Amino acid sequence: MLIRTKLLLLGLATLALPWAGCQYVREIEGSLRLAESQSLLAVARTIATSLRGRRDLLFRGVDGPRSSEPAGPYDFQPLPLAAAPQLEARDDDWPSAKQSARRFASPRPGEQLEVRTATFERYLYLLVVAPVDRLVLDAGDGAALDPAASGDRVWIAYTTPDGQRAQLFVSAWSTGTVRGRRIATRELGRPELVEEPRVQGAWRRLGSSDASGGWMLELRLPLSMLGHEFGVLLDDRDARGAAPSSYGSLSPRELLPRGRLIAAAPELATYLAQFGQPGVRIAAATSDGSVLAETNALPQVADGLSGAQALLSQLYRRLLDRSSLAQRPLQTERGRLDAQQARAAAAGQGSTALFGAPGRQRLVVAAAAPVLDADSGRVIAMLQVAQTADRWLLLRDRALTRLLNLTLLAVAIVIGATLLFGARLALRLERVRRASDAAMSRDGQLRTDFPETSASDELGDVARGFSALLERLAEYTGYLRTLAGKLSHEIRTPLTIVRSSLENLETEPLGENARTYLARAREGSERLGAIVQAMGAATRVEEAIRSAERSRFDLAELLASATRAYGDAFPARRFQLEGADIPCPIFGAPELVLQMLDKLVDNAVDFSPPGSVVQLRLRNLGGPAITLEVENGGPSLPPDAGGRLFESLWQHRRGDDGRPHFGLGLYIVKLITDFHAGKARAENLAGAPGGVRFTIELARNLTEV
Amino acid sequence: MKKTIAIVEDEPAIRDNYAAAFTREGHAVRTYASRPLALQAFATRLPDLVVIDISLGDEPEGGYDLCRELRARSAELPIIFLTARDSELDAVSGLRLGADDFLTKDLSLAHLLARVNALFRRVEALTRPADGAQTVQRGVLTLDGERLQVLWQGEVVLLSLTEFWIVHAIARHPGHVKNRQQLMDAASVVLDDNTITSHVKRIRRKFQVVDPAFDAIQTVYGMGYRWVDPVG
């Protein structure tokens, strides 16, 4: 992995910073929430305590302990409505929640009566649905008291707020608007129909004909006329005047209510309102969680952050805090407190919980407390106080946004700095690497100038180490390069001693055997002399190059002349020269060029079989360089020899021709080529006979280079 | 009369070998290991010929200094430099210290003796009037084989003994190419190609001191050198 990537990963680790910040903000928010919840719970408890034992303030009518009992099958719990329904006998403006519905089975199987109750402001609304029953109308308005003329009839019995029993009925004499009527007893016990104008409603057939589909009745009664007992009964007739089949929540004979109307006392809403504050919802509910009354001042529109900031905080919240989005709504069922809170309150426990307001990015915190009976300590009702949590949310979002902005900025700076540092480090490493790659050139020269050696850090140490190593290596190779020359010089003095001694010895009278040994010793010292000469060859060429004088001369003439000489010197090879017909004047050192040619031809002769052709070629193509080629038909070069061939002391000769070889010949070629600002290379010849070609490029005009 | 040869050489074995060879030839030999010892001896009496090693003990160039001091005292004293290094040959030659010859120690004793004898002959010839018996005249070139002198356009060209023999070999047969081996044989030296080349170069330069237009020695690449008589 690249250092840059590693450092980038390291930089990414700073992302832990905003994470830690978020955790901190969350913790702060949590404790704030807790404090707020506790204070809200305290408010709820205070209000609940103020209602302790106050059944009269909680419930409609007072009938002793029964009023606070859980709702039975005949008890009606009207649903508080947000808007008044139109009296059209349609259920589409009723809430779909059916928990306020009571169903009463008909004696005939498969048929049932459904009665739904609701309250809005001062009215109780009643929706009576008989889905499968057939609507049988009264014969006429005047015949309402005549049993033979009676059709379907809905009875309502209740106690008045002051405890009087009362009944009224709604008869189906036609569809459309209906009114309630009651039967009053006149003098002589004669019954008389009295209009009850406070009870209004509408009756509608559901099916397409009288015979099927049932019907729906919607009624409105002022709550002020109702006490705590309430019931509904249907007199269902199959035909006008037939004996009714009566069912509902009244006793069929006496028409007395069997159940209660569980609704708030009229003063309850007012009582709760005095605790109301903006942004707070207070709800009182029965002990099973049905809302009796509420004052709702929860804001309907969020007034939180605006614009880009809001967008940003939304994003952060989405990324970091999914919990506030996943809350359940405050009211899952209309007219009911949250089931968990209701259970806790019913058990006498206060509780707090967090809710999400539906469709909005906001939270509501709610505290619920039980209202206890004064004497028995039973739970008679419960109270819930809810408040939007926007204040903390706003606070938290601001803190989060600021925190995240700051830490992200810091992270960006850290990552940027890390990247910059990494890039610089990588660059420096790359420079060192490249320098170490290039430290030894193809021709074996060492470069000791090394980058980064002035840096004070570890990389500088490495570079300095490298540099020192290279310097030592350069000294060493330099020593090796001059070793042959030095050795040849050092050997020369003892060799002179040996030679001069031998020569003196020759003048002495010696025996036959001694002469033989002397001749051998002479021969040995001659060979030693040749070796010393060969060893010093490169040094001498270097010295010759130092003192070389350049002049203008004709390379073509030199080649032609030299090729003739080679023909004499090496009769076992044939020498061919190409391209030397035209004069080729160049500026250089002719003696050195000749010496270079000698070495190349020596090499070619050494490696080619007797009788073969050594091809010399001059290419003068008019460019700044002139190319000289020497080809021989000898064996190919080893594949790895290309770069090292011209190095000092490198050789790959096989066999022994009796002459000392130190791998200096081609090194001398290179020295002379360098002096002429040229290049030397060797390559194997393609094709069947094979062979090797040495190519020398010489600058035409050395002064120009 | 016995000639006295002084050998100034710090290597005792070489010194003694040379001394033995010269003694065998009938010369009187005195040997010195260092420059101060030699100078001390030369203060009272100069030898007839001096062979000096360039590096003397702890004086790497003591030979040069000794040569300079001797030349200051006598213009005619033959001086032969011996060196272990080829490079010194070039350097010394360039110094124009007035030595009569510069030789490497590879030289065989026989060759060294030949040189010594030649120098003695020259000294003798210089003291006699020229008889022209061994003189070769070729145009403006005069080769005096007795005095080992070369004259170009009547002026003396100051050549060392080796250089004289090289010129002698080339110029005796104009137009003939003399290869390196022939030149080495003529000069009684064993030299490598570079040294021959630098000898020839130096010879040309010395002639050019007398005549800047000198171009009589031609290089035949790969073969050797030849003398071309100047036209007119």
DSSP class per residue in B177-199: PEEHHHHHHHHT----HHHHHHH
Q: Are A383 and A54 in contact (CB under 8 A)?
A: no
> Which residues in chain A are closer than 8 Å to B53, comparing Cβ atoms?
none
DSSP state of A117: E
A386-402 pLDDT, tens digit each: 887 766 667 777 777 78
Cα–Cα distance for residue pair A165/A159, rounded to 1 Å: 4
Residue A591: which of B106, B110, B197 has the nearest Cβ? B197
CB contact under 8 A, B13 and A497: yes
At A229, give phi and psi (nearest 5°).
Answer: -105, 145
One DSSP character per residue, A68-84 reads: GSPP-TT-B-PEEPSSP
pLDDT above 50 (res A705): no
What are the sequence ranges of the domains in chain B? 4-127, 135-227
Pairing mode, strands A613-619 and A574-578: parallel
CA torsion, points A267, A270, A274, A279, in degrees to nearest 10? 140
A653-663 pLDDT, tens digit each: 554 455 556 67
pLDDT for A288 equals 81
A474-512 pLDDT, tens digit each: 888 888 877 877 787 788 888 889 988 998 898 888 889
pLDDT for A300 equals 60
Cα–Cα distance for residue pair B105/B107, rounded to 1 Å: 5
CB contact under 8 A, B222 and A594: yes
CA distances B53 to A385, B64, B79, B83, Å, are 123, 9, 11, 6
**Total residue length of chain A:** 705
> Which residues in chain A are closer than 8 Å to B84, comparing Cβ atoms?
489, 492-493, 496
Mutation for testing the B interface, residue in A486, A503, A559 having most B CBs under 10 Å: A503
A503 Cα to chain B: minimum distance (Å) = 7
Cα–Cα distance for residue pair A229/A255, rounded to 1 Å: 12
What is the pLDDT confidence band of residue A220, given thresholds at 50, 70 and 90? very high
pLDDT above 70 (res B11): yes
State the greatest distance between any 2 C-alpha atoms of chain B, in Å, as a whole number.
Answer: 55
The first and second tokens of residue A61, run together, are: 């009518």
CB atoms within 10 A of CB A675: 23
The first and second tokens of residue A606, run together, are: 């050494």
Mutation for testing the B interface, residue in A482, A540, A600 having most B CBs under 10 Å: A540
pLDDT above 70 (res B25): yes
Nearest to A276 by CA among A397, A131, A386: A386
A403-438 pLDDT, tens digit each: 778 888 888 888 888 888 888 888 888 888 888 887
Interface residues of chain A, partner chain B, Cβ below 8 Å: 489, 492-493, 495-497, 499-501, 503-504, 507, 529, 533, 536-537, 539-541, 543-544, 547, 549, 557-558, 561-566, 590-591, 594-595, 597-598
**Total residue length of chain B:** 232
pLDDT for A360 equals 54
DSSP state of A631: E
Nearest CA in chain B to A601: B222
pLDDT above 50 (res A630): yes
pLDDT for B29 equals 93
Work out how many CB contacts closer than 8 A connect A with B. Answer: 92
What is the pLDDT confidence band of residue A648, given thresholds at 50, 70 and 90? low
Q: Are B221 and A557 in contact (CB under 8 A)?
A: yes
Query: Is the CATH code 1.10.10.10 the one for domain B135-227?
Result: yes
> Which residues in chain A are closer than 8 Å to B13, comparing Cβ atoms?
497, 500-501
Q: What is the mean pLDDT of residues A281-299?
A: 82
Cα–Cα distance for residue pair B126/B148, rounded to 1 Å: 10
Segment (H or E) for A234: strand A230-236
Q: In A328-393, where do the E strands start and end?
A: 351-356, 363-372, 379-388
CA torsion, points B20, B21, B22, B28, in degrees to nearest 10? 20
Nearest CA in chain B to A487: B85
pLDDT for B232 equals 52
> Which residues in chain A are closer than 8 Å to B201, comparing Cβ atoms?
549
B95 touches chain A (CB under 8 A): no
pLDDT above 70 (res A108): yes
B156 touches chain A (CB under 8 A): no
CA torsion, points A674, A677, A682, A685, in degrees to nearest 10? -160
B208 touches chain A (CB under 8 A): no
CB contact under 8 A, A537 and B21: no
> Which residues in chain A are closer than 8 Å to B219, comparing Cβ atoms?
590-591
Cα–Cα distance for residue pair A565/A559, rounded to 1 Å: 10
- Label residue B34 exposed, middle or buried (CB < 10 Å: 0-12, 13-18, 19+): middle
Residue type for position A285: A
Q: What is the mean pLDDT of residues A96-117?
A: 80
Cα–Cα distance for residue pair B56/A74, rounded to 1 Å: 142
Q: Which fold has domain B4-127?
A: Rossmann fold (3.40.50)
- With tokens 């005792």, the residue in question is B12
Cα–Cα distance for residue pair B20/B113, rounded to 1 Å: 12
CB contact under 8 A, B221 and A500: no
What is the pLDDT confidence band of residue A46, given thresholds at 50, 70 and 90? very high
At A472, give phi and psi (nearest 5°).
Answer: -65, -40
CB contact under 8 A, B90 and A547: yes
> Which residues in chain A are closer than 8 Å to B221, comparing Cβ atoms?
557-558, 561-562, 565, 590, 594
Q: Are B219 and B196 in contact (CB under 8 A)?
A: no
C-alpha A114: how far from chain center: 56
Domains of chain A by start residue, with CATH: 13-61+266-399 (3.30.450.20), 72-248 (2.60.40.1190), 458-535 (no CATH), 547-704 (3.30.565.10)
Q: Are A628 and A579 in contact (CB under 8 A)?
A: no
B139 Cα to chain A: minimum distance (Å) = 28
pLDDT for A655 equals 46
> Which residues in chain A are closer than 8 Å to B87, comparing Cβ atoms?
539-540, 543
> Which residues in chain B are closer than 8 Å to A497, comparing Cβ atoms?
11, 13-14, 17
Nearest CA in chain A to B94: A547
Cα–Cα distance for residue pair A367/A382, rounded to 1 Å: 11
CB contact under 8 A, A544 and B21: no
In three-state secondary structure terms, B115 is helix
Pairing mode, strands A79-80 and A112-120: parallel
Q: Are A352 and A366 in contact (CB under 8 A)?
A: yes
Residue B221: which of A499, A547, A558 has the nearest Cβ? A558
Segment (H or E) for A433: helix A390-438
pLDDT above 90 (res A277): no
CB contact under 8 A, B221 and A503: no
SS (H, E, C) A467-518: HHHHHHHHHHHHHHHHHHHHHHHHHHHHHHHHHHHHHHHHCCCCCHHHHHHH
A528 Cα to chain B: minimum distance (Å) = 11
A431 Cα to chain B: minimum distance (Å) = 42
CB contact under 8 A, A543 and B87: yes
CB contact under 8 A, B194 and A540: yes
At A10, give phi and psi (nearest 5°).
Answer: -60, -45
pLDDT for A704 equals 42
Nearest to A196 by CA among A159, A222, A235, A175: A222
CB contact under 8 A, B106 and A529: yes
Q: What percent of chain A has pLDDT over 90?
A: 7
CB atoms within 10 A of CB A148: 9
Bridge partners of A574, per DSSP, are A613
> For residues A289-309, b (16+ Cβ closer than 10 Å) or e, as one string?
bbbbbbbebeeeeeebbeeee
SS3 content of chain A, % helix, strand, coil (to 5): 40, 25, 35
B201 touches chain A (CB under 8 A): yes
B132 Cα to chain A: minimum distance (Å) = 36
Nearest to A633 by CA among A665, A603, A667, A673: A603
The first and second tokens of residue B124, run together, are: 């003798």
The first and second tokens of residue B119, run together, are: 């120098």
CB contact under 8 A, A501 and B109: no
Of the two residues A334 and B202, the one the predictor is more confident about is B202
Nearest CA in chain A to B85: A489
